[in-house]
Amino acid sequence: MKELKHLNKYFFKYKWHLIGGIIITIIARIFAILTPRFIGESTSAIERYINGETTSEAAVRSELMTNILLILGATIMAGLFTFLMRQAIIVVSRHIEFDLKNEVYQKYQDLSLNFYKKNRTGDLMNRISEDVSKVRMYAGPAFMYSIQTGILFIIVIPYMFLQAPELTLYAVAPLPILSFAIYKLSVAINYRSTIVQQYLSKLNTFTQETFSGISVIKSYGLEPQTNNGFVNLSNENKDKNIDLVKVQAFFFPLMVLLIGASNVLVIYIGGRKFISGEIDNLGIIVEFLLYVNMLTWPVATVGWVTSIVQQAEASQKRINEFLKEVPQILNPSEGHEDIKGSISFKNVSFTYEDTNITALKNVSFDVESGETLAIIGKTGSGKSTILELIGRLYDVESGEICIDGKNIREMNLRELRDSIGYVPQDAFLFSDSIGNNIKFGKADATQEEIVTAAKNAAVHRNIQGFSKGYDTVLGERGITLSGGQKQRVSIARAIIHDPKILLFDDSLSAVDTETEEEILNNLFKLSRNKTTIIVSHRISSVKNADKIIILEAGQVVQRGTHQELLGTEGYYKELYLKQLSEKEM
Ligand SMILES: Nc1ncnc2c1ncn2[C@@H]1O[C@H](COP(=O)(O)OP(=O)(O)OP(=O)(O)O)[C@@H](O)[C@H]1O
């Protein structure tokens, strides 16, 4: 129960609902317990009449009528309060599920990129859905049934004991066996359910991947192989489900067997005691039979609840593991930063933790506020890493990065990121309208601002070409943009909030040279008072930059302006000549 202590704050938050729920449960159980009593009394009344102890038929009729009305009333009240009990306790468990999901999601958002590298998406999803659901079973049904069972035992067993102590012992003797058997069965069922769940996840992942890569599958004619893969996984899934069903099938027969044993004992022992005169009326035996049946389900739930608690404990442990994770990148200050945008790298080195690849080695450069720096270099030379480090998606290993002379590790992280417009290499767009995708960069942007940003990113004409314009939905439910269109929507998103620093990671690679020229001209006008860093493989994108650096295997090997670099032998000049000859061809 150590891990489940995490939920205490939520139980405390909803304490009044829960206290109300407990009171309602007590009332519901009291009404439910009354019914067997009235049935027992009715049986005794008939018995007295048969034995000639009561002679007036009218009196028996009236007593029976009263009892019938009381039984009806008690049953209705028990039903009403049981409904209210579920409303109170199960609704609280749904609130707790909601709160816990939000807490986990919030944590996911706070955690750094490294966390996402270390953990698979499926695992993240499972903890926020499957595990939280299992914990809810503890906060709701397990809690409710435990109270219900506790109350029933506290009231019914002493009452039965007062009526007939020995008969009570016989009647309840099989119940612990039932509870233990159900516990063992529940553990076996849960174990098999987990396996079924794992196979279902495998099947889902396989199917999802197939649909995402359907064009590759079709173009390579891989349908038969994927079909076989699906059938094999489905078969394994079916076998695991059959294993589960076999164990589940024991549940009700076991219950019926043990209830039957209790009933037989009550009738046999009760009957003998009645014959020997130890029990003076049949009503008690009828009452006991009803109580035994009434106790069976709660007793069974003791075993069931125990296994739910065990599962919830294991799930909460997995959730707590993530909740305890400390984000690697922390916000050191809430102070206001008046960012102008000069950037300097001082002997920056960086190694990716997961791959141990040293992406940057002693990189140093300065860009003044309002200047444009271009970074060029072979693939894998560390260009994207430089941009990621500026926004503190990772922290440097050694050296420092300063903005306006201040180490970025000491700056308000939110304001730092807010001052940056970053266009990543693979432009990611959400399954939402184009307008909203652009607005992502500025939540309160007006339609006019969205259009201006799209115009500057040279994508406005394309958007107008779609029948729904800016309301065109992208992604699975909507249209698929071309690579170049995606890049330009992504640029519009970055420039809409007018940031002080603009970072473009090979963001024009998929557009033709004419559009590239148009965007660069627009950006040139826009970025007069902004610091811009452009990563590119094309000389045409970088030639007008104030400074250009060439990276090779994480080190700066050349630096200068376009003209200066053309005058020096090296990668830049080679690339220029190569791209020039390609253009002329
Ligand atoms: N997220 C990451 N985790 C681990 N290693 C990484 C990660 N990103 C990049 N690397 C490694 O770091 C090195 C530098 O990568 P980076 O993406 O900075 O190069 P790049 O110059 O931008 O390449 P490209 O021109 O192909 O985009 C590469 O060897 C790459 O494999």
Give residue 228 CA to ligand 1 midpoint distance, Å. 36
- 379: Cβ below 6 Å to ligand 1? yes
Instruction: Give the SS3 label for residue 363.
Output: strand
- 380: Cβ below 6 Å to ligand 1? yes
- Check: CB of residue 22 under 8 Å from CB of residue 144: no
Mark whether 350 and 317 lie in a shared domain.
no
Q: State percent of the chain over pLDDT 70.
A: 98
Mark whether 209 and 355 lie in a shared domain.
no
What is the predicted pLDDT for the residue at 583? Answer: 63
- 475: Cβ below 6 Å to ligand 1? no
Write the DSSP symbol of residue 420.
Answer: E
Mark whether 262 and 349 lie in a shared domain.
no
**CATH number, domain containing residue 567:** 3.40.50.300
The total domain count for the chain is 2
Between 524 and 319, the higher pLDDT residue: 319
- 381: Cβ below 6 Å to ligand 1? yes
- The atom number, within ligand 1, closest to the CA of 385 reads 18
CA–CA separation, 381 vs 557, rounded Å? Answer: 11
**CATH number, domain containing residue 257:** 1.20.1560.10
Mark whether 493 and 570 lie in a shared domain.
yes
Write the DSSP symbol of residue 479.
Answer: B
- 68: Cβ below 6 Å to ligand 1? no
Asked, for residue 336, whether it belongs to a domain, the answer is no
For atom 26 of ligand 1, the residue with the nearest CA is: 379
Asked, for residue 400, whether it belongs to a domain, the answer is yes
Residue 272, C-beta contacts closer than 8 angstroms, at least 6 positions apart: none
What is the predicted pLDDT for the residue at 151? Answer: 86
- 385: Cβ below 6 Å to ligand 1? yes
Give residue 384 CA to ligand 1 midpoint distance, Å. 7
Report the DSSP beta bridge partners of residue 474. 479
Instruction: Give the SS3 label for residue 334.
Output: coil
CA–CA separation, 536 vs 505, rounded Å? Answer: 7
For atom 29 of ligand 1, the residue with the nearest CA is: 380
- Check: CB of residue 145 under 8 Å from CB of residue 305: yes
Q: Which domain holds residue 537?
A: 343-584
Report the DSSP beta bridge partners of residue 300. none
* ipTM of this predicted structure: 0.94
Mark whether 112 and 47 lie in a shared domain.
yes
Q: Which of 356, 383, 397 for mutating ligand 1's site (highest number of atoms within 8 Å of CB)?
A: 383
Residue 539, C-beta contacts closer than 8 angstroms, at least 6 positions apart: 376, 562, 572, 575, 576, 579
Mark whether 356 and 251 lie in a shared domain.
no
Q: Which residue has the tokens 């209790």?
A: 262
What is the band of 288 on the pLDDT scale with cuts at 50, 70, 90?
A: confident
For atom 3 of ligand 1, the residue with the nearest CA is: 352
**Strand 406-407 versus strand 372-377 pairing type:** unpaired
| Prediction pTM value | 0.77
- Check: CB of residue 396 under 8 Å from CB of residue 350: yes
Find the mean pLDDT for residues 6-25. Answer: 91
Write the DSSP symbol of residue 568.
Answer: S
- Pick from 61-65, 242-246, 257-261: least confident: 257-261
Give residue 331 CA to ligand 1 midpoint distance, Å. 25
For atom 8 of ligand 1, the residue with the nearest CA is: 385
Mark whether 148 and 276 lie in a shared domain.
yes
pLDDT for residue 533 is more than 90: yes
For atom 31 of ligand 1, the residue with the nearest CA is: 380
Residues 221-246: pLDDT tens digits? 889 999 999 999 999 989 998 998 88
Mark whether 165 and 200 lie in a shared domain.
yes
- Check: CB of residue 504 under 8 Å from CB of residue 423: yes
Asked, for residue 328, whether it belongs to a domain, the answer is no
